[in-house]
Amino acid sequence: MHQYDYLIVGSGLYGAVMAHELNKRGKKCLVIDKRDHIAGNIYCEDVEGIHVHKYGAHIFHTSNKKIWEYMNQFAEFNHYINSPIAVYKDELYNLPFNMNTFSKMWGIRTPQEAKAMIAKQVAETGITEPKNLEEQALSLGGHDVYEKLIKGYTEKQWGRDCKELPAFIIKRLPFRFTYDNNYFNDRYQGIPIGGYTAIVEKMLEGIEVRTGVDFFEFRKENSEIAETIIFTGMIDEYFGYQLGALEYRSVRFETEVLDCDNYQGNAVVNYTDREVPYTRIIEHKHFEFGKQDKTVISREYSSEWKVGMEPYYPVNDEKNTKLYEQYKELAAKEENVIFGGRLGDYKYYDMDKVVEAALNRLEEM
Ligand code: UDP
């Protein structure tokens, strides 16, 4: 006899949605997490009364009404709209790429002028079928936008040449000919009032949770504890890296409390040239329109993941995708184990897609 129906490894968003839904259906769940807190990478820490996104900024956005309503069961969302600023040397631009960006870059005013300028620059590249991120970016916006706002940032974030990266990464960013600085095209957007940790706490209400528990140690003594395992950690680690290690990007956060009430005037400021070593500075209070006397900022330094670091981004290039497909075959043969989430599926998911993937998986089950 198993003590639990489900052992859920990882209390991030995927694990928490799974646990919540299974518990609701009368299943007995145990959630374990190797960290000393719940909520995975959406965990927020209270510093000076500000919710600090400890493992990187998270902005909830979705076009899926069902997912939006699902999340609203657990929190009310504020009216935050993400509108990052890009700093390139001594120039400052609005993101995503829109009329504000183009007008600043070329001194133009109308969509017709912007389109003509971009069409001219795109024609100069001679690219017809973009095969990688560089070609994709050049064929969307031409030389100036690519050199000033994409190349340096992308190469810092991914530690790879833009020619070696898949085009889909840049397709995440809107390109538009209106004066609209909203980073996302999605219908619904906001930051949960009360923070993300409170959402996960609510999802896990009434469920047994043990933090500070490493699965690989735990299973040595508890191999029969649950009928089914839901594993949200790194899929290659689960299999002991037997086919080789998948690559991930990690981020080092340099977080500082500053004795001023407003450091940069915006939640997100990207540094798009190569010379500045960090990719962006997050000023956390602006996600919640904070009125505190102090402020907290985090500089993000991107690096290749190594054992002992936190993995944040799967590197979904050709080589890693092939290797992941092999792990996926192993996973399919692993009886009574379900893999999911950014690390379990090795996929650059946004939060809404994580929730959607979990709900779809539950339906299949
Ligand atoms: N990107 C860019 N310039 C920017 C911001 C983003 O070229 O100023 C590109 C870059 O390739 C990055 C991708 O867009 O990897 C996605 O960026 P986003 O900010 O959406 O990533 P996340 O918030 O998930 O780190």
* Tens-place pLDDT, residues 194-253: 999 999 999 999 999 999 999 999 999 999 999 999 999 999 999 999 999 999 999 999
Q: How far apart are CA 263 and CA 163, in angstroms?
A: 35
Measured in angstroms, how far is the CA atom of residue 150 from the centroid of ligand 1? 8
Q: What is the pLDDT of residues 342-364, one digit of tens each?
A: 999 999 999 999 999 999 999 99
DSSP string, 164-208: GS-THHHHTS-B-SSS---S---SEEE-BTT-HHHHHHHHTTTSE
Q: What is the mean pLDDT of residues 152-163?
A: 95
Residue 340 has pLDDT above 80, yes or no: yes
Tell me the HSE value of 161 on the side-chain side, using a 13 A CA sphere: 3
* 55 confidence band (pLDDT: 50, 70, 90): very high
The answer to whether the CB of 168 falls within 8 A of the CB of 349 is no
Measured in angstroms, how far is the CA atom of residue 154 from the centroid of ligand 1? 7
Q: How far apart are CA 310 and CA 313, in angstroms?
A: 10
Q: What is the mean pLDDT of residues 106-131?
A: 95
Nearest to 205 by CA among 348, 74, 339: 74
The answer to whether the CB of 295 falls within 8 A of the CB of 257 is yes
Q: Write down the pLDDT at residue 174.
A: 84
Q: Write down the pLDDT at residue 258.
A: 98
Mutate to test the pocket of ligand 1, among 98, 150, 184 (most ligand atoms within 8 A of CB): 150
Q: How far apart are CA 218 and CA 11, in angstroms?
A: 15
Q: Write down the pLDDT at residue 1.
A: 79
In the annotation, is 280 catalytic? yes
Measured in angstroms, how far is the CA atom of residue 140 from the centroid of ligand 1? 15
CB atoms within 10 A of CB 219: 15
What backbone phi and psi angles, to 5 degrees, belong to 210? -120, 120
In degrees, to the nearest 5, what angle opens at C-alpha 267 toward C-alphas 313 and 102?
Answer: 90
Ligand 1, atom 3, lies closest to the CA of: 150
Measured in angstroms, how far is the CA atom of residue 314 from the centroid of ligand 1? 14
Residue 178 has pLDDT above 80, yes or no: yes
Nearest-atom number in ligand 1 for the CA of 173 is 14
First and final C-alpha spacing in the chain: 21
Q: What is the mean pLDDT of residues 53-63?
A: 97
In the annotation, is 187 catalytic? no
Residue 172 has pLDDT above 80, yes or no: no
Residue-averaged pLDDT of the chain: 96
Q: Write down the pLDDT at residue 267.
A: 98
In the annotation, is 172 catalytic? yes
Based on its alpha-carbon atoms, the radius of gyration of the chain, rounded to whole angstroms, reads 22
Q: Measured from the CB, is residue 168 less than 6 Å from ligand 1?
A: no
Q: Write down the pLDDT at residue 98.
A: 97
Nearest-atom number in ligand 1 for the CA of 280 is 8
Q: What is the pLDDT of residues 295-319, one digit of tens each?
A: 999 999 999 999 889 999 999 888 9
In the annotation, is 348 catalytic? yes
Domains in the chain, please, with CATH?
4-78+187-246+314-364 (3.40.50.720), 98-169 (no CATH)
